[in-house]
Structure 1
């Protein structure tokens, strides 16, 4: 496809002919070459696995695709099904795989530690958790120097809420509509809408208007959105608040980047009301945005508490909370303990992930490849009316589909059709947004420009067939 584009450029110059999308879409694109042969698979087939899931696992467990995929192997940015077919993983297991599937450095660290000591709680000393905490703390600005290890993003956000309430002596929390912070009862209450999770009684939780530049009521006007937070404090919390929590780019919400300058305004408001500011970096952290290592840095702020999970462990059950010594001192008045948090195997694996990101310059890589991907998607947007918005940073990208650009009517059915078509072509993306009409493109950080071209060409081909 790259050669095809070069020939077109020579033939037509910089201007693109109106029929260009049809020219690109005459044949389905092919996956980039990849020097790896998956191992023969002789295990249970998809139908058998699916029946077992339905019989023995909770009925709330959902799956992608009309015919669920039986994924049996992964290597870097690719996954393989039971028949050995290769797929481009543009979703990274819900943004969990950062270094790449089965990265040898991460695997080696896990294997070597597992052979020595698989588990020892923090009531004993072990260097792995201390080494990992030191390396992680070095990645943060300001006075964010104290690390707590947990097992998931939900648990990290639970702990952050506890810290905020204990430190301030207040109960009221403010979060954003359309945000997502976990699957526990407390973290589900931080989400204002019941589209994804259950309607949990919200108590002392207040939900501010979402500062969404594309769909938000105030467009990109950060001041108007921030005033809504002030109103919640003035009229809903009697002037006192424990904390404010938000993602910098909403993940499940559809890769929504907050209005520019929003967090700086809100952090000032919340701190004046005695509250602390929590940044949920579960999906945006570890260089994924390209321009910065942490998502909150894109808004020019330093939070009081930062939560993270998913990409921190490349698939290991691992999460963390980083805060200041002042806030940490409050927890020291009682016992704060996690049996598995920071166990030797997860700590060794997490440290290996940090080192891979640094050694392979994944942040710079994300910026470079992400810019290329966004440019190609925006070019596609010029040729297909169904693409209402292309947004994101680095390798955290959203493509929102609409049936009417002026009304921004969600293209729900079309999104579902294209989702299946992309899978047929060998591309696995995520879906999100309030209406399920946003493609979430958040691949492993080893994703290449050739992969980006294949993804866009596959989307081009699929849209031409709608």
Structure 2
């Protein structure tokens, strides 16, 4: 048995003290051998002051008492007091292989000593080796990649590519979707919390969101997930009448809103992320792609949150829908926190950008390419796709038990390590849990050592999208923390 370090012993004692104070029945936080460095930065109060006076007020801060994060190691984060937290949000689904993964760190350090940056108008080996390794992992004819710096930038580029290739300006996205918040993409995003009252979205139309839980149609056989909605339906296993109804709504948009029935492109996330981990009815996306292509459109898969094995059963989220898009957009986990993103498409669609100059100063730079390549290696070497399938399924099943215990947990959904927990006032009405109650539970989970994300139009969905290295012991701890927080505040 491993000897527990002094730091771990102090932490466990702190947790036991907290349990005594609150009367908690929380499982013991799994041990961690990593020892963080002493914090030497500005005081907590000084950081709060700087954030208030020198940073944009639009910058969101999580929690009533925000954390001052100091260091990270794999699935763990440490605050300025070196208190440890289990990170279930991974920097908004961005840290894929683990905070400061030793192999990624080593590759980064080696490249930094060799060459930080040079224009990609010159050739350097990292970009070309990474492009080949990256596109080799993609199916079909998705063989041309453009490296950029963020998911928003990638979606911006994809919009232009779709319109240039098809010659049709009007495109379709889904309500409840999030594809970025740049002025160009604000129309592609269909969540009012992310939209300002400025002109945006010219030529973009939204179809009804095929949501089996909150939408008008849905039942207990809709989703590709261990967890189904608890809505009644008369569908037999293998069929989904709700999917048919939502497809009728998509056809309605094409019929009435597209110029002469033509479509420039159709955007969809494999699982909606910011919108609250919403899954579509099985086969919806495959049939939607068929309908869009029949009227001349290209199909774009937003893989910013669902790629790189996170869904467990497949490497790319779109593969879970048995489709191959014409354009795929990746970001976040691609660089494990380094600003890196990509647009992948076919040679035919890529040829459109040859009509004028197109250049990205930092996309595919030597450091980014080295990091992206190392991330691909670690996903395979550490078997993180397999871990996402095994630990993610276990997580969902444990949360389903908690859902059955608690009237305020209306739905558990997701696949692999992309999970949503929708909080409601009661299961019958599905009325969203009020913000103050949601905040009470959320704050409590943080105080007990687990960092959940939060999303959905009403802000009532806990988002579970951790580094893909978490363990079943981490799951047990997380579920016990959420159970305790719900019990205390509901």
| Conserved 8 A contact 1:223-1:265 | no
Q: Secondary structure in 1 aligned to 2:85?
A: strand
Query: Where does residue 207 of structure 2 map in the other structure?
Result: 208
Q: What is the TM-score normalised by the length of structure 1?
A: 0.93
Q: Secondary structure in 2 aligned to 1:431?
A: strand
Worse-superposed segment, 133-142 or 279-288: 133-142
Alignment of 1:249-328 (within 5 A): 249-328=271-350
Report the alpha carbon displacement of residue 332 of structure 1 after superposing the two structures with TM. Answer: 1.6
| Conserved 8 A contact 2:303-2:316 | yes
Answering whether residue 263 of structure 2 is matched by residue 236 of structure 1, we say no
Distance 1:70 1:192 in 2: 32
Of residues 427, 431, 443, the one that matches 2:450 is: 427
Alignment of 1:51-450 (within 5 A): 51-200=49-198, 201-219=200-218, 220=222, 221-237=242-258, 238-412=260-434, 413-450=436-473
Q: Secondary structure in 2 aligned to 1:195?
A: helix
Distance 1:73 1:177 in 2: 37
Q: What is the TM-score normalised by the length of structure 2?
A: 0.89
Name the Cα RMSD after superposition.
Answer: 1.0
Query: Where does residue 461 of structure 1 map in the other structure?
Result: 484
Worse-superposed segment, 432-441 or 43-52: 43-52
Query: Where does residue 12 of structure 2 map in the other structure?
Result: none
Residues 125-149 of structure 1 show CA distances to partners (whole Å, capped at 9, x for unaligned) of 0010111111110111110010000
Query: Where does residue 44 of structure 1 map in the other structure?
Result: 42
Report the alpha carbon displacement of residue 32 of structure 1 after superposing the two structures with TM. Answer: 0.3
Distance 2:465 2:450 in 1: 12
| Conserved 8 A contact 1:189-1:202 | yes
* Matched length: 442
Q: Secondary structure in 1 aligned to 2:193?
A: coil
Distance 2:278 2:284 in 1: 13
| Conserved 8 A contact 1:165-1:171 | yes
Q: Secondary structure in 2 aligned to 1:98?
A: coil
What stretches of structure 2 of length at least 5 have no aligned partner?
A: 1-22, 223-241
Distance 2:142 2:92 in 1: 27
What stretches of structure 1 of length at least 5 have no aligned partner?
A: 1-24
Q: Secondary structure in 1 aligned to 2:41?
A: coil
| Conserved 8 A contact 2:178-2:191 | no
Distance 1:316 1:383 in 2: 40
Report the alpha carbon displacement of residue 331 of structure 1 after superposing the two structures with TM. Answer: 1.0
| Conserved 8 A contact 2:26-2:477 | no
| Conserved 8 A contact 2:178-2:190 | no
